[in-house]
């Protein structure tokens, strides 16, 4: 499969809904305001579901990493919010967020450039239905938010000379179900005890069989599968 060019791939602009329609999305840079809103409105609902891998996350602590300098700047940290657009309030309420290391060695080939997905979260169904900022009913619930948010990382990689390559670590709290979800998206598991890329240890936990990655070819296939939503 031919590789995509590394410029000009747009983010997904809409999501299919439970009722068969679509809702508009807007992908924007993650801001402290996004983090504050998520921390006060969405995270408390997430924290009631202890089966979720993002139970207990604190985006108020994560967002400042996008503004750090020094060695971390070499990794080009970048955050994105996926917002539900066109709401009655005129706002774009985040329904998913991700924090990336925009320039990181590929997990399967340390000589190639990749994007590393550090954090990724989506709003639970309950939040989407109950929070007035969303203003959604059952029929307008967006589907595929996890897949769309993972695509944000792929799109960033495509547009920043990574050819779509993405790596991540499937949180242990997500168990086999989370690992299987990434496999179903076309990612490959890095074998346990495989050497990880060089760099600050705070970016990578030991190689435990839960690191997943997109090859360039698999990333392009995943990206093209969402072209009807761009």
Residue extents of the structural domains in the chain = 14-229
Q: Which residues pair with 189 in a beta bridge?
A: 212
pTM comes to 0.90
Q: Which has more pLDDT, 201 or 10?
A: 10
Residue 202 has pLDDT above 80, yes or no: no
> Side by side, which strands form the sheet with 22-29?
14-16, 22-29, 77-84, 93-105, 113-122, 166-169, 211-214, 188-189
pLDDT of res. 166: 97
pLDDT tens for residues 122-133?
Answer: 999 999 999 998
Query: Per residue, what are the HEC states of the chain?
Result: CCCCCCCCCCCCCEEEECCCCEEEEEEEECCHHHHHHHHHHHHHHHCCCCCCCCCCCCHHHHHHHHHCCCHHHHCCEEEEEEEECCCCCCCCEEEEEEEEEEEEECCCCCCCEEEEEEEEEECCHHHHHHCCCCCCCHHHCECCHHHHHHHHHHHHHHHCCCCCCEEEECCHHHHHHHHHHHHHCCCEECCCCCCCCCCCHHHCCCCCCCEEEECHHHHHHHHHCCHHHC
Dihedral sign for Cα atoms in the order 136, 223, 117, 62: negative
CA torsion through residues 57, 183, 209, 206, sign: negative
CATH superfamily of 14-229: Gcn5-related N-acetyltransferase (GNAT) (3.40.630.30)
Residue 71 scores a pLDDT above 70: no
pLDDT of amino acid 39: 96
- The mean per-residue pLDDT over the stretch 116-125 comes to 96
Whether pLDDT at 203 is above 90: no
Sequence-ordered list of residues with C-beta below 8 angstroms from that of 59, at least 6 positions apart, any chain: 34, 35, 38, 39, 43, 97, 119, 121
Q: What is the pLDDT of residues 14-59, one digit of tens each?
A: 999 999 999 999 999 999 999 999 999 999 999 999 889 999 999 9
């Amino acid at each position: 499969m031919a590789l995509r060019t590394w410029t000009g791939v747009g983010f997904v602009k809409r999501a299919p809904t439970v009722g068969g329609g679509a809702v508009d999305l807007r992908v924007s840079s993650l801001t402290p305001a996004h983090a504050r809103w998520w921390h006060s409105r969405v995270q408390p609902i997430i924290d009631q579901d202890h089966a979720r891998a993002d139970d207990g996350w604190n985006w108020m602590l994560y967002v400042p990493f996008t503004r750090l300098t020094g060695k971390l700047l070499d990794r080009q940290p970048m955050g994105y919010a996926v917002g539900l657009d066109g709401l009655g309030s005129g706002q774009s309420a985040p329904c998913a967020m991700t924090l990336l290391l925009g320039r990181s060695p590929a997990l399967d080939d340390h000589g190639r450039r990749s994007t590393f997905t550090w954090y990724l979260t989506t709003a639970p169904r309950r939040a989407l239905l109950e929070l007035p900022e969303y203003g959604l009913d059952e029929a307008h619930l967006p589907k595929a938010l996890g897949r769309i948010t993972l695509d944000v990382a792929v799109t960033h990689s495509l547009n920043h000379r990574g050819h779509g390559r993405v790596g991540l670590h499937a949180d242990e709290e997500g168990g086999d179900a989370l690992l299987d979800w990434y496999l179903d998206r076309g990612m490959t598991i890095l074998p346990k005890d495989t050497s990880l890329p060089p760099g600050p240890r705070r970016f990578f936990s030991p190689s435990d069989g839960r690191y997943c990655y997109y090859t360039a070819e698999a990333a392009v296939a995943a990206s093209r599968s969402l072209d009807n939503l761009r």
